[in-house]
Amino acid sequence: MKKITMTITRIDASLPLPAYQTSGAVGFDLYSRVDMDIAPRSLGLVPLNIVVAVPVGYMLLVVPRSSTPKKKHLLIPHGIGVIDQDYCGTEDELLFQGYNFSDEPVHIVRGERIAQGLLVKVGIADFTESKQVSRASRGGIGSTG
């Protein structure tokens, strides 16, 4: 895999840098900067300790680790967090938006791996309007059986 340089600033330098846990991992772990609780059936914003400069031509996805829903009862309400390449002010710490779907408070420990980041190459559209798109209709949701 091609390595891409991404500049980051840690808010608390005593916490680890984001890290890939295996040589084949495509997502790097992100750590909670604080101890906190998320109330039952509530949304919480977990500070992830870094400000990033997403490389031009990429976006950063912030998603739960695969174990987060099972172990912590947290999901991202809209499924993913998209970090644009121009979201990079000095106060723009990444946050994990987690919804506690359980009936008990969820406790998050400072330094806990709670989310992961994935760099994804993107293209930017130059829109051209037409009266009709010339491709044949495929149907819709479930149209292929």
pLDDT of amino acid 25: 93
Residue 10 has pLDDT above 70, yes or no: yes
pLDDT of amino acid 117: 96
92, 74 Cβ separation under 8 angstroms: no
Structural domains for the chain: 7-121 (2.70.40.10)
Entry pTM: 0.84
CA-to-CA dists, residue 9 to 17, 44, 92, 93, 121, angstroms: 9, 23, 10, 9, 22
pLDDT of amino acid 144: 66
Residue 136 has pLDDT above 90, yes or no: no
119, 55 Cβ separation under 8 angstroms: yes
**CA R_g for the chain:** 18
